[in-house]
Structure 1
């Protein structure tokens, strides 16, 4: 009888933990779909979305290499619909783009004139929740250059 009681308590505990984790988890699959909707009109999404769980004024830093002749779109989103600011730098920390200087745009389109390693910094806009998931996705399309 004692083992049946132990099994019942264990079962209820596992069910409770499973339910609690589902309530608090963020649905990152939906975030990917929402961000993918921002990468349209001929852009091919990079298969490596950049994700960071941020708290307060933390800043995520991502590195990527961009190639000459491609047109790129950087898009940002969050599962809690928080606004995300982002900036793009070269490896010498020269600012190439800042969404804060563009009415907090959630995306940016640009064409590369040469190959370059870039640093993308992203953070949550102040206000509201103190933490959240920031997602940065890059899409590209090649120019129609005949060889």
Structure 2
């Protein structure tokens, strides 16, 4: 009886030690990803997150405004590449990092304001599930 109680205590203790470490590790990945938006870029403060499995595709909507330079950053919780594509509302492809060695950062200038759809998916050759994190930063070009 005492042996079973002791083993249960050890299991609970081991779980409480390991789980916070995994949570901190995940949080470090988020901070590292967000850290790719540095001055002169300012984060828009709205990270996009989705847990993906298999062929799932996360869809995020945003508006890019005239007169700004943007930085889009895509990361995963496990440092695996996230494939992201940006479309206008008519589904015309504006950019895909799959065509640029799956780079996790893309800087671009926008002429005119454009509503966009950003799709994010996993690279199935590397992983079958994981967290997709997407951050958008901007800097104002007017007056520069």
Q: Same fold (TM over 0.5)?
A: yes
TM-score bracket for this pair, using the shorter chain length? 0.7 to 0.9
Secondary structure, aligned partner of 1:38: coil
1:59 matched to 2:57? The reply is yes
User: What are the equivalent positions in structure 2 for 1:1-147 lying under 5 Å apart?
Assistant: 12=9, 18=16, 21-22=19-20, 25=23, 27-145=25-143
For 2:23 and 2:30, the matched residues in 1 are separated by: 15
Larger radius of gyration: 1
Q: TM-score, normalised by structure 1?
A: 0.81
Q: Deviations over 1:13-60 (max 9, x none)?
A: 865664564466574421221112221240001111000101012111
**Aligned 8 A contact 2:67 2:142 in 1:** no
For 1:53 and 1:112, the matched residues in 2 are separated by: 29
Q: TM-score, normalised by structure 2?
A: 0.82
Aligned length: 139
For 2:63 and 2:142, the matched residues in 1 are separated by: 21
Where structure 2 has 5 or more consecutive residues not aligned to the other structure, the ranges are none
Secondary structure, aligned partner of 1:29: helix
What is the alpha-carbon root mean square deviation over aligned residues?
A: 2.4
**Aligned 8 A contact 2:29 2:79 in 1:** no
